[in-house]
A and B are shown apart, each in its own frame.
Chain A
Amino acid sequence: MPATRVSASQRHDADDPDAARQFEMLALPWLAAVARFALSLTRSRADADDLVQETYLGAFRHWHTFIPGSDPRRWLFTICRNTFVRSRRNPSPIVDRGDGDVDAMPSVIAHTLAHRDGLGDLFDEIDVRPAIEMAVDALPEPHRSVLVLVDIEGQTYEEASAVLGVPIGTVRSRLFRARRAIQAALIDHARDAGIGAMHVGTRRNQ
């Protein structure tokens, strides 16, 4: 954690002679965490490096908006995520299908049907990592950022809520929709790999 804090009543100013020192003490210690988050978002080392640089340049330019006493890590993550969303070369459309309540039932039904087709053990039978990476890349915003923050970065709903500026209930519903999409993509991937057909064939031969 950064060693120093400035008074909560004191706002940074772009011309403040102490701004450089405060930026170094409060923002730079989080560079490794921002780099990991950028890697999770981009899945590419080169793109992550660009994103980290743009994040810190943005943070420096807007340092006067950082509220002393608030969490600089969350602030940097917010800048990083927003910069990433703006910079995607072929951005997926921003999806807003409503953030109403959602539960795990559709995924359970999908799993039930997949299980019936012999796909219930797909994690044990094929290397799903490439398929998961592709499925994460294909997730539209805002679902992708939520999934990265909670499921990959291990942040709590509360932390993700603060980074994204949305209520916790919205984090939850977007996360569940993202997981459902990932699961559906994996089941499709397993079907394409012939896993279900292999099981059906085995059953038929028994």
Chain B
Amino acid sequence: MIDRQDDAPAALLVFPRDCEETVRALWDYLDRTLDAPTMAAIDSHLVQCEYCREHVRFERILIDRLRSLRREHDDAVTLRGRVLTALAEAGWRRV
């Protein structure tokens, strides 16, 4: 578990080996692209390390907020009509 060095400049931040391996793989972990043993090893580390858990929480919220930007078109029927009209003008004939 990391002992946070509150006054260290960025260049001097040193992570314990377990923490470093975890945080380097953090996005791969969140995207679930790691193999099962690696996922399990990170899960085990997170149980013990509050510091890495906080990083995972932060990055997970970031990705969740990005996902929340997704929205359906609110008038797909009108859009479909517009597209069909444009296609007809371009020579497409509905069968």
Contacts and interface: CB of A to CB of B under 8 A. Distances in A.
Interface of A: 20-21, 23-24, 28, 31-32, 35-36, 39-40, 43, 45, 48-49, 52-53, 56-57, 60-61, 103-105, 107-109, 111-113, 115-116, 120, 123, 128-129, 132-133, 136, 147, 150-154, 157, 172, 175-176, 179, 182-183, 186
B54 A36 contact: no
B13 interface: yes
B47 interface: no
Nearest to B91: A60
A154 B63 CA distance: 10
B83 A56 contact: yes
Contacts of A112: 4, 10, 13, 55
Interface string B20-44: 1001111110010100000000000
A83 B86 CA distance: 16
Contact of B82 (A49, A60, A182, A183): A49
Given A112-B55, A113-B10, 17 more contacts: A31-B83, A35-B72, A35-B73, A39-B72, A53-B83, A53-B86, A111-B55, A111-B58, A112-B4, A120-B58, A128-B65, A136-B66, A147-B66, A179-B63, A179-B66, A182-B62, A186-B62
B94 interface: yes
Interface of B: 4, 6, 10, 13, 15, 20, 23-28, 31, 33, 54-55, 58-59, 61-63, 65-74, 76, 79-80, 82-83, 86-87, 90-95
A36 B10 contact: no
A141 to B, nearest CB: 17
A67 B57 CA distance: 43
A39 B73 contact: yes
B23 A40 contact: no
A48 B68 CA distance: 18
B66 A151 contact: yes
B65 A123 contact: yes
Q: Which 8 A-B pairs have the closest CB atoms?
A: A35-B73, A104-B26, A151-B66, A108-B23, A103-B24, A21-B95, A104-B27, A123-B61
A160 B94 CA distance: 31
Contacts of A182: 62, 66
Contact of B71 (A36, A123, A176): A36
A20 B58 contact: no
Contacts of B87: 56-57, 60
B21 to A, nearest CB: 10
Nearest to A61: B90
B59 A104 contact: yes
Given A103-B24, A129-B68, A20 B79 contact: no
A109 B26 CA distance: 12
Contacts of A107: 26-27, 59
